[in-house]
Amino acid sequence: MMTSHVLEATARGLPSRIRAAQAAIHFPEVQDMLRRLSEYDLGICMPHMHDDLSGNFAPLPPGVMQVESGLKVSFQPVGNLVARAEPFMPVGWTWRNGESVPVAACEMVSAAKTGDPDDVKHKM
């Protein structure tokens, strides 16, 4: 794998859950899952965020979502997204408490603003 040399050099100092996720991508069963997911144009991601002060990696806690809006990424409480006027398209999921939960989303432009219900655009 092309990034294996990067992993070894950068994995030191990561939280244990992040190190475990980085290592798991090399497991045969995870590679099999990745092959199966690719049939649906899906991949594997590592839900994470970064500490505001240090920039260090941190596991993405329940109730927080990675949001891309205006081509910028932020980490927001899920409750904040429900109150917003613009719709969000989930683009990343994880399994929590026995169900699929979105952990990443892109903010979209409302079809009501464009007048075309088939017009799906990312908020710029």
**Model's pTM, two decimal places?**
0.76
Q: Which residues contact 18 (CB under 8 A, 6 or more apart)?
A: 46, 48, 57, 58, 59
Alpha carbon 16 to its chain centroid, in Å, reads 19
Average pLDDT score over the chain:
83
Enter the DSSP assignment of 14. S
The count of other CB atoms within 10 Å of the CB of residue 112 is 10
Cβ atoms of 86 and 47 within 8 Å: the answer is no
Domain ranges of the chain: 1-44, 45-124
Torsion sign, CA atoms 21, 22, 27, 30: positive
Alpha helices in 1-124 (DSSP H): 4-10, 16-24, 28-38, 78-82, 111-114
- Model confidence over 2-61: pLDDT tens digits? 555 445 546 677 889 899 998 999 999 999 999 999 999 999 999 999 888 888 899 999
Residue pointed to by tokens 């613009």: 86
Q: Could you report the per-residue pLDDT of 84-113, keeping only the tens digit for each?
A: 767 888 899 999 999 998 999 998 876 666
